[in-house]
Structure 1
Amino acid sequence: MRNNNLAVSIEEALKIILNSISPLTCENISIMEACNRVLYEDIVSDIIIPPADDSAMDGYAVIAEDTLGASINHPIKLQITGEIQSGGSVNGKKVSRGTAIRIMTGAPMPEGADAVIKFEDAAEEDGYVNIFQETVKYKNYRFAGENIKKGDKVLRKGDRLSSVDVGILASLNYNTVKVYKQPIVSIISTGDELADIGEEIRTGQIRNVNAYTIYSEVKKYNAIPYCLGIAKDTLKDMKEIFLKALKSDVVISTGGASMGRYDFVKDIYLALDVEIQFEKVNVKPGKPVIFGKKDNQLFFGLPGNPVSTLTSFIQFVRPALLRLMGANRILKPIVNAFLEEDINKKSGRVNLLRGYATIKDNEFYVSTTGNQNSSVLTSMRDANCLIIIPENTKVKAGEKVRIQLIEHEEI
């Protein structure tokens, strides 16, 4: 049996979380609302795109061999025998030696033509076109099925749909699509020291920053957040607000997860029959992270310091939300980078330092964003990565370190 009092590694914590999750069921939605949602089923094409050979340019459908030797000084003259518009039909039009047909982008290629000369490389005169540049066979020519073939699996279950994917669905005549449901997320702030926006701050109080940061992060990953307010530092008040969250898929609380006299989150979990999976992670910032589960509901007790809260969300809550929504790709990229300053950390924990990475000569270089105190949220604003420093490690400028690219999409 696991001893939940022992600090687990980041990797072990993530494994425990992901192994605890069963993705949600599906719903059918309009493709107009599908961007960033996670696809519930493979999309297999039952058509070919384009449906026929067509032109990739506005210009003239020609026989490539007719253009050999064409130049500005020695244009080749071809007779124009017709025009085919985009969305039009060939209507029996053919290209034979010495002729050309005016054609628009996307229009079907006429019989006999095997290339398209762009308008810019030609000029019309009295029913003829002067070709100023020779071409080769199949230049500016698109083949039927070149984009998508019948039977192609064009999108896969678990894909997070991009705007391009939505366009592909439209090209396949999908008006609606099956996606995983969005998890409902309850957000609870804890602590007598918190004052909400608009409230007067008393001595010793701070603004309830975490609720707004976490709300925004939850929305960014397309889950549905609800802020339930601030729970005061009493078991009664905290239990009341947690009971309101029991119908949601995920409960995120901030603060009250450490070992202080008024840190009641663990007690609330036990009172609500939440099975605690772990309550400490060997990482700085963010050691006091409690994760629990009740049936299919997930509970995350995050630290109270703003940077600790956000870092813990990135490492643990974000991948959990994506897995709930059936996403296949949930991990942020980790790459090597040259350190641009000395770092000496002896905390006995893995350090995740806020960093700013740049690329020089096809290599990543990274430096910290300044003050690494876990209350300095501005250091997170300036960061595009987290610098991963193993426990009790001293790293000098010029050495390579691993960095997690937090502003990049999942892999």
Structure 2
Amino acid sequence: MKRPAGLTRPVTWSIAIILVLVVAVVVVLVVGLSTPDGTDNPARGGDTPGSVLSAKPMDDLPLLMKLGKVKGSVVQYVSTDSSGKRTRVSGTVFKPGGEAPAGGWPVVAVAHGTLGINTECGPSSSSDLHGLIGLAQGLLGAKYAVAIADYQGLGAAGVHPYLDSDTAGRNVIDSVRALRSVFDDISPRWGGFGSSQGGGAIWAADEDARTYAPELDLVGVVAGVPAADVVGLVAKARAGTLTRDQAPALQWIVEAAARSHPDIVRDDYRSGSAVTNWDVLSACAGPLVSRRNAAADALGPFDLAPRTDEAAARLTDLLRSYALPRKAISAPMYVLYGDADTYIDKAWTKAAVAKACALGDRLTISEQAGKGHGDIDLDNALPWLQSRFAGATSEQDC
């Protein structure tokens, strides 16, 4: 099935992950097949961020994970939204097979790109984690424990605050806490990787890590094509200059916002085909999703334009509250983006990076000529993160 139009296509570590997988296959074929136990010592209950509310062993792990004696679990855990309210969030956590190194398995938290705004859009609702299982396999083959948050409102019941990076970032941090509760021998040292929506989430997690989770040791994060600041979508909608890729993303922003913000009224932001196709455009699964790309193609240049100055101001203010940076990061960050991105304008990312540099952030920056949103070169991402775990100093490109 063709993936529905949204803010991102899945971004993967290509060559580096393939090499890791090849090595993993060679190694684990020696140890033979095993049936994984999904948890070691799950500590359930409590209301502090990261507390595990439920943990269900994954019995449908791919063959490579079974060969490697990987343990996997679908979890629900406590997290915190941007207002400080406790929430229930779901996700998946994994532990490599074999004996852990001294200090426990280091962790990579994966912050996924846009998959949708409805409950069924969370990675944990799919046996292949909506395409993320290969990335998880590669990281496990490289001997990292892996945590993949669904984000609030995806997977577990609730409203998903789409592109609220602060909330998603805390969901990511708390997925690491949940991983350490479910499995033994997990190190407090962790790194992060995210792309698009996940790029914004992992950036926000880096900003919050020092104060939100002082018991964990963040070594660095990779933020690919980060949705750091998309306030400019409102002005482009009013000017009729949204790209084909930006228009359906804006529809998801409006619909998600309307579910939790009474001042965001859907009819203030839709006309023409957006009215008749609204439910189709909101879908990520089920019978409507097959029509979503056609509905996105049918959008006219002003079908998602705010109808009044007041409506434009309300949506602008909301997106400003989501925008990054907000404060200095806790650990080095590697930012990668393309100068031909049709989802997130290059100028928006460059401005966010410049602000982060002004805050004193340590950034490795890769602006890639001719690359868009889903085809940036991420081959250096895993080696960069491995160097941070090894204690090497990262480049400062500010």
Normalised TM-score (structure 1):
0.23
Q: Which has the higher helix share?
A: 2
Larger CA Rg, structure 1 vs 2: 1
User: What's the TM-score, normalizing by structure 2?
Assistant: 0.23
The structure richer in strand per residue is: 1
